[in-house]
Amino acid sequence: MAVLMVSLTGCERGDTLERFSGPTMGSSYSVQYVRKADGPAVEQVREQVEAILAEVDHDFSTYRSDSVVGRFNALPANSCQAMPAAVLQLFGLGEWLYRESGGAFDLTVEPLLDLWGFGPQSRREQVPTAQALLDVRRRVGQQHLRLSGESLCKDAPVELDFNSIAAGYTVDRMAAQLQAMGVEAFLVEATGELKAVGRKPDGSAWRVALQAPRDDRQELQQMLAVDGYGVSTSGDYRHYFEQGGRRYSHTFDARSGMPVEHALASVTVLEPSAAMADGLSTLLLILGPEEGWDYALKHDIAALFVTRADKLFVTRATPAFERMTAAVTVK
């Protein structure tokens, strides 16, 4: 999940800057858009956006037993379920991320999240016993999923969890809806994932403030000017617990069944698709400061890595990140 603060500054001249927000996915969403004289009113845009949010909740929520994903998760092994196009589309992205990460990124880690205290069925945060971990790992593994036409099938009692990419997907849906309504400039955000297109009424860029990966206070790390990109930050500093002098994050490496324990605190990714940015930021965070950095360089990903070094943070940006952020000037 990204932790980003959106800058709301900027004067209005001619066209108007409209804003609205509300709750979603256990967090919140926000929309800012430039409304021309003949453009859609806030009430119209809000209605369309909230219809998308309701559809996403119905399809992907792991907190609802009647959601599409909730019903699939309740099925036993060797079962299939017809899936709507949205689930099939996002599963395709999850399959690509699974293969690219060598199995580290996995859409079936929810039982692990529950076991360690981070999931929707959690009772308390805890380090599980070796036997409990072994038992749960039998119910984890994306290799147990396969497509059959428009149905998704499983040969083990695995459970889907799209939370690592669903918010980015939602942002893409929101952005596409605004564009379909004739809106040319906007900044849309859901649970910290966001996408910005165009300019504000005064001609200035949409500005996004990246928060430093601190768990004790909010602190500005870097201000970005964004146009045409989704922005996602994944970090280990919001959901974690400490036990026996060790820190356990809510980000899991499915290959080991364990929370990641490396020094990489956060990764920010810029991509035209917010869903892809969401998935890649998670993938890079799981891979860690060395393997993740090498992957980002190899694939020319625009990424900002923040690593812990004693009590300090060390920041380094890939060449693609530097190019993208330099291309948009802040007026």
* Of 47-56, 167-176, 258-267, the least confident: 258-267
Span 235-244, pLDDT tens digits: 876 565 566 6
SS3 79: strand
Span 103-125, pLDDT tens digits: 999 999 988 888 887 766 666 77
* Of 38-42, 67-71, 246-250, the least confident: 246-250
**What percent of the chain is predicted at pLDDT more than 90?**
69
The verdict on 182 and 242 lying in the same domain is: yes
**Is 318 a domain residue?**
yes
Please answer whether residues 250 and 222 qualify as being in contact, where contact means their C-beta atoms are separated by less than 8 angstroms: no
* Of 1-5, 164-168, 177-181, 303-307, the least confident: 1-5
The verdict on 105 and 205 lying in the same domain is: no
The verdict on 173 and 149 lying in the same domain is: no
The verdict on 197 and 274 lying in the same domain is: yes
**Is 160 a domain residue?**
no
**Is 301 a domain residue?**
yes
Residue that is last in its domain, among 121, 154, 187 = 154
Q: Average pLDDT, stretch 195-208?
A: 94
Alpha helical stretches, state H, 138-273: 166-180
What is the residue-averaged pLDDT of the chain?
89
**Is 159 a domain residue?**
no
For 61, the token pair is: 């929520």
Q: Average pLDDT, stretch 265-288?
A: 96
**Is 209 a domain residue?**
yes
The verdict on 139 and 217 lying in the same domain is: no
The verdict on 176 and 277 lying in the same domain is: yes
Residue 290 has pLDDT above 70, yes or no: yes
The number of CA neighbours under 13 Å toward the Cβ of 278 is 25
The CA distance from 32 to 34, in Å, is 7
For 207, the token pair is: 């500005």
Q: Among all chains, which residue has been given the structure tokens 């149905």?
A: 151
For 3, the token pair is: 């932790």
Span 243-268, pLDDT tens digits: 666 766 778 889 888 888 888 989 99
**Is 52 a domain residue?**
yes
Q: Among all chains, which residue has been given the structure tokens 């989704």?
A: 230
Q: Among all chains, which residue has been given the structure tokens 């490396």?
A: 262
Number of domains present in the structure of the chain: 2
CA dist 124 to 134, 154, 255, 319, Å?
Answer: 19, 29, 23, 42
The verdict on 206 and 101 lying in the same domain is: no
CATH number of 198's domain: 3.10.520.10
* Of 42-51, 257-266, 276-285, the least confident: 257-266
The verdict on 190 and 231 lying in the same domain is: yes
Return the higher-pLDDT residue of 33 and 10. 33
Length of the chain: 331
So what's the pLDDT on residue 241? 58
So what's the pLDDT on residue 1? 41
Q: Average pLDDT, stretch 147-152?
A: 97
Residue that is last in its domain, among 108, 131, 154 = 154
The verdict on 51 and 109 lying in the same domain is: no
**Is 63 a domain residue?**
no
For 20, the token pair is: 């609205």
Domain span including residue 85: 68-154
**Is 133 a domain residue?**
yes
The verdict on 122 and 261 lying in the same domain is: no
Instruction: With CA atoms as reference, report the closest residue to 208 among 319, 82, 328.
Output: 328
The verdict on 84 and 196 lying in the same domain is: no
Residue that is last in its domain, among 154, 173, 202 = 154
The verdict on 92 and 115 lying in the same domain is: yes
